[in-house]
Structures are given as structure tokens and as C-alpha cells.
Structure 1
Amino acid sequence: MTIDQSPAHHAGVRNVYDGFGRVYRSVWGPNIHYGYWEDDADDSSVEVATDRLTDLMISGLAAQPGQRVLDIGCGIGHPARRLVRTAGVHVVGISISHLQVQQANEDAAAAGLGDKATFQFADAMDLPFPDASFDAAWAFESMWHMPDRGRVLAETARVLRPGGRLVVADVVQREPITPDGQVVIDHIKANYGVTTLGTIDEYEKNLAAAGYVDVEIRDITDNVIRTLLLMADAFETVRDKLADLVGGEQADSLIDFVRRFGSIPESGYIYVTAVRA
């Protein structure tokens, strides 16, 4: 018998993605992240909108062919494969889910990209890579699972070469927390492997402390928040599958709180670019 000796926060994140996350993929698609819509009149599909957000990340990374890119919290590797195809880079993805790592490697091999996209088990707060071993890095909706964003940013700075670019997309706290908002946020934290919701001010301080320059932080909440309402609708279509997995009460709660998280003013989303000094 193998005893899991990984940090306690790993289990909560793994339970989300190895559990109902599989049902999530069945209705949402391979991009396990938010979508980006240009404006309220934009009627793009979820597939188009999620690819558009990936393309925004790729654009911010500005990676050149042959460069080495770290994907922090790679999931099953769909955005990484799009990055490889678009920019001609080599990607190393990390996750604390063994199932995700296995699936990501299998999918990369099946796509003929196994030599350019590899995935491994690793903790972003203690990266198993030498100093200055990557040209660029991104954290695509993985930071809100990290107990210490500042430590992740510092570790990423350590493994980036001087001049290397960092791109982050993260769910954050946009407004001061109200009592109603606190109820929703507490539920999200308790059930979805989320430790804290960061703020723009915290990001600015942590990036500066880690030695990043040319920092740009864009609040793109209005472009992505539609995701949560559409996600709740998608979950409703597989409510019975969710109920079989987590129980009927928990399934209904999941759907309700995803929708509520999309409607509270505290729920925000930022897009960050920075350069390792």
C-alpha cells in the first residue's frame, strides 16, 4: 500500500479534478477554464470563448520557437498543446494530480506532440527544476489553488531566465467582501480546493517582491464572468451524474453556488503579464 505523504492541500485539489472534474469535462470540453467574450453582444460558443482566453495567454507569453515554457497547474494539457502548436515551443507541465499528468502525457503522445509537451507531478511551491531553466511560464487558473501565491511567484522567478516572461490568469477578490459574498466564497473555498482569493494589491506586492518588472495587471472580469452562469447551466444537464458521484444535495449545492459565484461583485478575474528582472 502506498501512503500519500503530500501536503494536505494537495488532497482537496485532487478531489476536485479527479472527482467531479471528470463530469465537468464531459459537458464543458477539454478547456477546463473560463471563456473570454469580447462584449455582451458576443454570442461565441464556450469552445470558441475558452480557446480565445488560451490565445490571450499565448499572446502575453510571446514565446519564441524552441523556447522552454513551464505550465504551472497544467490540468490535462489542452492549453499546453495549443501553445506548442501555435508557438513551436517545448512545454513542461506540472500538476499535483497523478491522473491529470497521465492523461496529459497520453493526449500529447496521441497528438504527436509527446516530444514537445511533457507533464509531471510537482508542487508549484517547491519546483524540482534548476535555476534559470525556463524561458517563460504561465499559471492558467491554478493560482487560486495555491496556499501561498507569493511563494509560487518567487519559485517561478527562480526557474525563469532573466528576461523570461510570466503570464497569469487568476480568479480574485474584486470588491470588499459582503456578508452574502462571504457565504459564497466560504463555500467555494471549502469545496473546490481553493485556499484564498487574492487581490490586485497583493499581486502587485508579491510580483515586486519576487523581482518581476514591467508588470501589467488587467481586470477582465466583465469579459469572463459569463462563464460561471453557463457552467451552472451545463452542470444542470448532468445533475444526475453529479448526484451519483457526490450525492444529490451536494450536486444541487454545486450548481447553486457556481451560479451565485458568478453574480456576486466580489468575484473577479485578472490577466497578468510580467518579466523576470
Structure 2
Amino acid sequence: MAPIALEPEDHSRDAAFNKAMHGKSAASKGGLASMFNKDRSAHKAASEDYWRHWDDKLAGTETEEARRAEYATLTRHYYNLATDLYEYGWGSCFHFCRFAYGEGFYQAIARHEHYLAHMMQMREGMRVLDVGCGVGGPAREIAKFTGAKIVGLNNNDYQIERATHYAAKEGLSSQLSFTKGDFMQMSFPSESFDAVYAIEATVHAPSLEGVYSQIYRVLKPGGVFGVYEWLMTEAYNNEDPHHREIRLGIEQGDGISNMVKISEGLKAIRAAGFNLEVAQDLADSSDARPWYYPLDGDLTMASSLGDLVTIARMTRVGRFIAHGAVGWLERFGLAPKGTRKTADSLGLAADCLVAGGKENLFTPMYLMIARKPAA
């Protein structure tokens, strides 16, 4: 694989685009309500820039190299388009989790975050970096759970604004801060964090070794890195068209330039210099309900009436109804053109995620706990 040519950062350009597209919607309730406040021309530009990487490209002809070369723009525009839909369907913590018997959806989400913090031995007084922090849901939960001070890194201005808004709303502004930046070329000084974590975010990197090397650099000697990584399993066969269709569907619907197998992820973290202490596929378990159940449509697995409502939005029927509603809103000019296309893409990704989970081709929670040598 050829070396990655990093995209030059232009924070002024990104801030101007964010202001043009999102306006003041970052301070609104979120979800579908936020979508009505977008600038139509800016939304169209973001949509066209994202979809040029995918339209008319089949599983055998996708341009992975082009997507890797423009990873930052690809990810930034993906979240410009998808963030409000994520919050509508999933909440403010954009990740999967394991489910224990009788455990509620949001309870399980929080436990998944607590488990990572526990495995990393996070505690009060530590300075911690959240790589790819989204709208700050996990950072808020982990800050409250551990007492650590957390810096969130994100290359999407809209998500940073929403994360900052939520932190202030929950009285966590003194414990949380959010910084604009590309995780492939972090601006933080070397050896400036006690711990670093990433929850289903570094999959957006064009090179896992590249992002892990940046994390290694900003960690203090003896510091710990914990990650839930999206990876294809060793059962994945890149020569199998069906396997490739599943992988491409996940990548297209989730703004990913190129996913790799577990063995490549392990190789990347060691090549970055880390001592790997834990490596475990948490999706490969005998839990009461599989990690993908919210997307699979089996409402009998919901543990409460509240969960039933939450999960119903994510099923195929729920997505079909929402997509139809978004289509009408778009037709009458209440939602920006391209919103339904993004929603449909998320639906395709959901189906491919379920297929990848059922066929043991994909995991969204390969846990790696690694440590930077003390000397």
C-alpha cells in the first residue's frame, strides 16, 4: 500500500462552510428538527462532494485509493450529512455495544463506555484524549464515570459545536473541551496525554498505523490507549463478491475509506510502537442479544416500552417510514435535497452491518488495550 498523502488542513474554510450549512442549528434540540435549518446550497455541495466517491461504483470497481487520499473531506462531509439522522435514530453516542439480559438500550451503551474506561484504568486527575469524539456523548459519560478531564478531537465543526453545547447544558464545561483537527496530523504536543481512547472512530483513518502512530506520539511514556475498532474478521474473503458487497455497503453508509481485517489492525498497533495488552473481539460472545439487534428488527428483544420505541425507529419498517417522511419533506422543500439519499445509505449500511455480524465477517467492537513503553 502506498504511503498516505495527508490532506492539508484549512480550519477557516471548514468553519465558513459549517456556518453556511448549519447556521445556528447546533444549539437546537437535534435530530430531524435540526435538518430543517440547513442551507440548501451548502447541503447540496456537501452531498455532491460525498457521493462522487460512491455513485455508479460497484463492489468490484470502487475507488478505494481515491477515498483514502481524501479521507478527511470524505469523513467531514459524511458527518455534515449524517449527524442529525444519527441523533434521531441512535442518540448522542454513535456506537454499538453488547447487551446483557434485561438491559436497556441506553444503559448498555453507557456500560460499554464504562467498560473501556475500566479496562484503561482511567481515574480522576488524568488528562485524556477522545479521538473522533462525535457530539461528545461518550466523553460526557466517561467524564462523569471517572472524573478525568477529557479533550475531544474532531474534524467536523458542526459536531464540535453540538458537543460543546451539550457539555455546557450538563455543567461539564470545566471537565470537557473539544478541538478541531485531523487525527492523522494532530497539533497536540508530544507526550501531552495520560490516556487516549477511540470508540469506533479510527476506522475513518486511511491508515490505522498512521493514526495509531499519532496517538502513540501524544501519549506520555507509560500511557494507555484503548480502542473499539471496526474490522473485518479473518473469515472475510476479499475475492468473494458477496463479502465485498457487505464491506462496501458498510463503508458507503458510514463514510469509511477502506476497512481492513483484524490481523491488519493488530499489525498496525504493534507497528506504531505499542505493547498490546488486550486484544479481544467483544462481538464474538454469547450475550443474551447480539450487538446488531437494534438494526435487525426483532422487537421481542426490546427490554422496555421505551426501548421498543427507540428500537422501532431503527428497524427496516421504522427506517422505511422515516425515509418516506423525509422524502416528502424534501419534495416540499422542508428538508434539503439529498437528505433522503443519505438516509437510504444509512439504511443500506444497517442491512450490511447486520449481515456482516450474522455471517461473522465484521466486528464493530474489536477491543485493543495498548501501552506506550515507559522508557
With normalisation by structure 1, the TM-score equals 0.89
**What is the aligned counterpart of 1:196 among 251, 255, 258?**
258
Matched AA of 2:252:
A
Larger radius of gyration: 2
Q: CA deviation at 1:12?
A: 2.5
Q: CA deviation at 1:68?
A: 0.4
Is there any run of 5+ residues in structure 2 with no aligned partner, and where?
A: 1-11, 18-68, 298-312, 328-338
Question: Would you say 1:79 and 2:138 are equivalent positions?
Answer: yes
Q: Equivalents in 2 of 1:207, 1:14: separation in Å?
A: 24
Contact 1:28 1:46 in 2 (8 A): no
Q: Which residue number in structure 1 is paired with residue 205 of structure 2?
A: 146
Q: CA deviation at 1:211?
A: 1.7
Q: Which residue number in structure 2 is paired with residue 176 of structure 1?
A: 236
Q: CA RMSD in A?
A: 2.5
Which is worse superposed, 262-271 or 148-157?
262-271
**What is the aligned counterpart of 2:370 among 269, 274, 277?**
274
Matched AA of 2:119:
G
Render the CA deviation track for 1:231-270: whole Å, top value 9, x for unaligned.
Answer: 3543332434335322486565355334333323211231
Render the CA deviation track for 1:32-60: whole Å, top value 9, x for unaligned.
Answer: 1002124xxx2422212211111111112
SS at match of 1:65: coil
Which is worse superposed, 4-13 or 133-142?
4-13
Q: Equivalents in 2 of 1:146, 1:9: separation in Å?
A: 7
Q: Equivalents in 2 of 1:252, 1:83: separation in Å?
A: 29
Indicate how the Cα distance of structure 1 residues 48 and 185 shifts in structure 2: closer, same or farther if over 3 A, else same.
same
Matched AA of 2:292:
L
SS at match of 1:23: helix
Question: Would you say 1:49 and 2:108 are equivalent positions?
Answer: yes
Q: Equivalents in 2 of 1:105, 1:215: separation in Å?
A: 33
SS at match of 1:162: strand
Q: Which residue number in structure 2 is paired with residue 253 of structure 1?
A: 348
Q: Which has the higher strand share?
A: 1
Q: Equivalents in 1 of 2:213, 2:84: separation in Å?
A: 31
SS at match of 2:210: helix
Indicate how the Cα distance of structure 1 residues 216 and 28 shifts in structure 2: closer, same or farther if over 3 A, else same.
same
**Percent identity of equivalent pairs:** 24
Which is worse superposed, 97-106 or 17-26?
17-26
Q: Which residue number in structure 1 is paired with residue 84 of structure 2?
A: 22
**What is the aligned counterpart of 1:120 among 171, 179, 190?**
179
Matched AA of 1:197:
M
SS at match of 2:256: coil
**What is the aligned counterpart of 2:192 among 133, 141, 156?**
133
Contact 1:228 1:261 in 2 (8 A): no
Q: Equivalents in 2 of 1:249, 1:198: separation in Å?
A: 24
Q: Equivalents in 2 of 1:206, 1:254: separation in Å?
A: 26
SS at match of 2:214: helix
Matched AA of 1:276:
K
**What is the aligned counterpart of 2:320 among 230, 239, 246?**
239
Is there any run of 5+ residues in structure 1 with no aligned partner, and where?
A: none
Contact 1:70 1:137 in 2 (8 A): yes
Indicate how the Cα distance of structure 1 residues 28 and 249 shifts in structure 2: closer, same or farther if over 3 A, else same.
closer
Question: Would you say 1:9 and 2:71 are equivalent positions?
Answer: yes
Q: Equivalents in 2 of 1:45, 1:218: separation in Å?
A: 24
Which is worse superposed, 187-196 or 165-174?
187-196
SS at match of 1:115: coil
Q: CA deviation at 1:92?
A: 0.5
Q: Which residue number in structure 2 is paired with residue 228 of structure 1?
A: 292
Indicate how the Cα distance of structure 1 residues 253 and 208 shifts in structure 2: closer, same or farther if over 3 A, else same.
closer
Structure 2 counterparts to residues 34-113 of structure 1, below 5 A? 34-38=96-100, 42-113=101-172
With normalisation by structure 2, the TM-score equals 0.67
Q: Equivalents in 2 of 1:78, 1:66: separation in Å?
A: 20
Q: CA deviation at 1:143?
A: 1.5
Render the CA deviation track for 1:139-172: whole Å, top value 9, x for unaligned.
Answer: 1100111111101111111100001010000111
Indicate how the Cα distance of structure 1 residues 89 and 231 shifts in structure 2: closer, same or farther if over 3 A, else same.
same
**What is the aligned counterpart of 1:209 among 254, 257, 271?**
271
Contact 2:270 2:276 in 1 (8 A): no
